[in-house]
Each structure stands twice: as C-alpha cells, then as structure tokens.
Amino acid sequence: MHLAYPAVLAVLLFCVGVYGVLARRNAILVLMSVELMLNAVNLNLVAFDVWLSRAAEETLHSGQALTLFTIAIAAAEIGIGLAIVLAVYRNRGTSDIDRLRDTAEGHESPTADDGDAPTPGTPTTGTSTTDGTEKAEATA
C-alpha cells in the first residue's frame, strides 16, 4: 500500500477537525473535533512508521510508541474536558462557547458615570440643595 492513501486520509481528518474547532459553538463538539485531529496525527505516525520500517533493517517502531502516548493524552484530555464542560453546564445552563465568559465578567454590575447615584440596595434619604435638585445620601 502506498503512503499517499493514509496521508490523504489523515489530512482530510485533520481538516474536518480544524473546521469543527473553528465553526462549532458547542463545547462537546469542539472536544470531538480535537479528537479527530489527534486521530489524524496518530494515523500519520503509524503510516510513516510502517513506511520507514520497510527501509530500515532494525525497526524501533517509534511511531507506534508515540501513538500510544498520544492516545493516553487524548483520553486524559477528553476526561478532564468533559468534566469541565459538565461543571460549566450545571452552573451556567449552557455549553455554548460564545455565551461563556470569564466569571468576573458576567457578574459585574454596571456603574454610573456620575458619583451622585446611589448603589442599588442601599437605603437613601433625600436632601434638598439650594437649586431645588435632590441629592441622595446613603445611610448606614
């Protein structure tokens, strides 16, 4: 078998994975796309290992050994990634990547431009100024 067949298949798998990472909004589909890219790399490693082992007399099968490490890393990535996605889904109610922001970013209250506006939830007492406008003072 020629080296071109698995190499073309690996390129196609990698391109589908890149498209999935760039175009998808769901976090689980993004993780699946990353797995496709890792599988394309594994296919290349094994194909080149077989191709190079025919030329060399002593084979080390280093491509297959690297494939085992890549599979272990992919399994750990999926386990941790799914745990993070499930925790975020439980807290936020969505796994849409575009809607997810930093936790400090999403819970900030808008601030007023002028310093005279009271903060929400604090009791205020109104005092009248000389020009007839009411100025709010916070009481403890």
What pLDDT sits at residue 131?
58
What pLDDT sits at residue 25?
84
Whether this prediction's pTM lies above 0.95 is answered by no
- Provide the H-helix boundaries in the chain: 4-23, 27-55, 62-92, 103-106
**Separation CA 57–CA 13 (nearest Å):** 31
pLDDT digit string, tens, across residues 27-62 = 899 999 999 999 999 999 999 998 888 777 777 888
**Separation CA 140–CA 73 (nearest Å):** 56
pLDDT digit string, tens, across residues 104-128 = 455 554 554 555 555 555 555 555 5
